[in-house]
């Protein structure tokens, strides 16, 4: 066995992956995400809740994942994979800027609406779980990159205006307008679109 194979073998033995069932792990991860999505308190479920929901023993949950941080990290991996599928459609860069802005904002609001519990719980638990903090940052960086790919004109703005625009159409802004002030998603889409257009020197 060469040194590379030996290193991989030791890694597998160390983290116990040879004991883990992929099917069991998927069931635990899916149950965790489902519980989070359905939670009225917008909180990650406990290991006990996950075990009950997935009909898997609590000891099995901890045999598959060393701790909740590891489980949440796997959940974020699955969510990010869904993100990639969600963001696979790209409009032509030849389309008018206004059309691209509308496309992007509608998509962004759909993501916020679908994953609102994921975003909200991540904000609430950023200091508690390292994987939550890393997942939240990765997700927002992915959305920022998505914006720049579809609307490269944004890179012509000053760094302050870029940051302001990113903040003005962030999940936190949508959540406050939608959840607290009860504005419809269409009203928020129109507002976000007009603000983006204004910053990009279009007529709002």
Domain boundaries, the chain: 19-66, 79-199
pLDDT of 21-55, one tens digit each?
Answer: 788 999 999 999 999 999 887 888 999 999 999 99
Collapsed DSSP state (helix, strand, coil) of residue 39: coil
- From the CA atom positions of the chain, what is the Rg in Å? 20
- Residue 1: pLDDT above 70? no
Distance from C-alpha of 148 to C-alpha of 183, rounded to nearest angstrom: 27
CATH class for the region spanning 19-66: mainly alpha
Query: How many C-beta atoms lie closer than 10 Å to residue 120's C-beta?
Result: 20
Question: Is residue 188 pLDDT above 70, yes or no?
Answer: yes
Tell me the whole-structure pTM to 2 decimals: 0.80
């Amino acid at each position: 066995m060469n040194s590379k194979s030996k290193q991989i073998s030791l890694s597998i033995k160390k983290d116990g992956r040879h004991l883990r069932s992929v099917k069991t792990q998927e069931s635990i991860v899916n149950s965790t995400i489902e519980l989070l999505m359905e939670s009225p308190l917008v909180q990650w479920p406990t290991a006990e809740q996950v075990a009950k929901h997935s009909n898997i023993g609590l000891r099995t949950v901890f045999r598959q994942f060393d701790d909740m941080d590891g489980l949440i990290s796997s959940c974020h991996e699955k969510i990010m994979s869904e993100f990639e599928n969600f963001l696979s459609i790209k409009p032509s860069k030849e389309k008018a800027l206004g059309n691209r802005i509308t496309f992007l904002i509608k998509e962004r609001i759909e993501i916020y609406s679908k994953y609102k519990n994921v975003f909200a719980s991540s904000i609430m638990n950023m200091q508690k779980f390292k994987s939550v903090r890393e997942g939240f940052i990765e997700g927002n960086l992915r959305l920022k990159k998505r914006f720049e790919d579809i609307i490269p004109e944004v890179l012509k703005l000053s760094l302050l205006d870029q940051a302001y625009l990113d903040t003005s159409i962030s999940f936190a802004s949508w959540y406050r307008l939608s959840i607290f002030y009860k504005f419809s998603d269409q009203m928020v889409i129109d507002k976000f679109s007009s603000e983006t257009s204004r910053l990009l020197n279009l007529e709002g």
